[in-house]
Amino acid sequence: MRPAAPVTTTRGRWSLSEGTPRPYERRHTGAVVSASPQPSPTRAGRRRVHPAWGVAAVAFVALVGAAGFRAAPGVLMVPLHDELGWSTSLMSLAVSLNLVLFGLTAPFAAALMERFGMRRVVACALLLIAAGAALSSRAQAAWQLLPTWGLLIGLGTGSMALVFAATVADRWFVRRRGLVIGVLTAGSATGQLSLLPVVAWASDALGWRTAVLVVAAAALAVVPLVLLFLRDRPLDLGVLPYGAQPAADGPLSPLEQASPRVAPERAPAARGAAAARAVRALREASRRPAFWALAGAFAICGATTNGLVGVHFVPSAHDHGMATTTAAGLLAVVGVFDIAGTIASGYLTDRFDPRLLLLAYYAFRGVGLLVLPWLLGPAVHPSMLLFVVVYGLDWVATVPPTAVLCRELFGSAGTVVFGWVFASHQVGAAVAAGVAGVLREQTGTYTAAWVGGAALCAVAAVLSVSLRRAPRPEGVSASSSSPA
């Protein structure tokens, strides 16, 4: 078979080929990197922005557009109950189904992105979200939320889960990987929480049916951007991932050894059955205690964010006399500080032990949940503002260190393994959403749910520090996402 022609950048710094390597070439994970003279300082100064940042920007916008529904249930439960008399526990069941599918779809979505590409999977996911939201606006009975909120939107949001962020960072970045995961994670959570005031206003002023159409429009509007500008791999544009350097003669450096994809190729394994690959990754990972520790801690993360606060904060605040729009505004403040917290967490993950970061995050979260029942009231006091700021900084700060630990502990399978760990996150969220709804109906208050969540955070902190990290090659810093 005749070797493929080299792929060379316009700057001429490096080339990729699939033919027989010449003496000055080096193979890395199936791709060949050829060394060539370094550009002069003048040319380097004129170098364009790396395409990886454009892909990350499109991914950020896509995650914001897909996250609209995650903001909707907590805001819509009160008007749905008032207008149609639907019970909190029944609506929580639809949300629980959504969260379960959101989580269980994630590992298969990671494998599907390997098989069909990110662009196709993400575009289809956005269309599912838009369809589910639009159809739910026609619901006449509570059970109709199960196929719309639960099935369609669950599958769509699951395919746009945090494994999408991890996949973008893994394929397109060698340096700044932790930071990119943090930024993209912030995009998902920020889209969810920043749309809360819009959905709440639309529900109050125009009705809940119009509010869910806002969610559908947000998802649908992003589809053209994804189809036009999202790219699957650096090879599609003839470039290396951001931070990957042309290899010189001699053995691989420790950083190169620690970077599974300097120039990812379309491996034959990626063309296998997506479901089989995802199940195989789960089977192999489940033999190690580290997987169960990560999954258990992340399940508690989901329970104490999406499950408790994301779904039940607004109804709980309403129980204490707070206006729905005010409570939604507080969650929007959580979203604002979530941006800073998640990006900062990505930065810190590149520099410090991720286990210790998780210990701190779960400790702060547990304290916040423990005092929350005594902070809620008709008015917003400074103590409540302090809670939303701290909880915002902590909201999904757990994602970058968890994703990096998956990568360190499970190597090239880390992205798919993170998909399964994320599935546990959503199962925890689903269980918490359902249990909190039942506790509210049985006791008339959410206090037991908040205190129980605080206790679970203590368990998550212990699980996180119990992990044993994989030995790191000599000369490699805290993350392959070291500073440029």
Q: What is the pLDDT of residues 15-28, one digit of tens each?
A: 343 333 333 333 33
Q: Which residues pair with 333 in a beta bridge?
A: none
Q: Give a yes or no: residue 31 inside a domain.
A: no
Phi and psi at 263, nearest 5°, equal -145, 90
Q: What is the DSSP letter of 446?
A: S
Res 163: pLDDT? 75
* Tokens encoding 33: 């990197």
Q: Give a yes or no: residue 262 inside a domain.
A: no
Q: Give a yes or no: residue 473 inside a domain.
A: no
Rounded CA gap, 300 and 398, in Å?
Answer: 11
Q: With a cut of 70, which residues of the chain have pLDDT below it?
A: 1-47, 71, 189-190, 193-194, 246-275, 469-484
Q: Give a yes or no: residue 345 inside a domain.
A: yes
Q: Which residues pair with 31 in a beta bridge?
A: 28
Which range marks the domain in which residue 73 is found?
51-234+270-465
Q: Render pLDDT for 101-155 as a digit per residue (tens, 0 to 9).
A: 877 887 778 778 888 888 999 999 999 999 998 998 888 887 888 888 888 988 8
Res 258: pLDDT? 41
The enclosing domain of 138 has a CATH number of 1.20.1250.20
Which residue pairs from 368-376 have beta carbons closer than 8 angstroms and sit at least 24 positions apart in sequence?
368/394, 368/454, 369/304, 369/308, 369/450, 369/451, 369/453, 369/454, 369/457, 370/450, 370/451, 370/454, 372/450, 373/445, 373/446, 373/447, 373/450, 373/451, 376/316, 376/317, 376/319, 376/320, 376/322
As to burial, measured by CB atoms within 10 angstroms (0-12 exposed, 13-18 middle, 19+ buried), residue 317 is: buried
Q: Give a yes or no: residue 483 inside a domain.
A: no
Q: Give a yes or no: residue 72 inside a domain.
A: yes
Res 480: pLDDT? 40
Rounded CA gap, 454 and 367, in Å?
Answer: 7
Q: Which of 330, 319, 308, 97 is nearest to 200 (CA)?
A: 330
Q: Which residues pair with 28 in a beta bridge?
A: 31
pTM passes above 0.85: no
For residues 73 and 125, the answer to whether their CB atoms sit within 8 Å is no
Total number of domains constituting the chain: 1
Q: Give a yes or no: residue 28 inside a domain.
A: no
Res 193: pLDDT? 66
Q: Give a yes or no: residue 17 inside a domain.
A: no
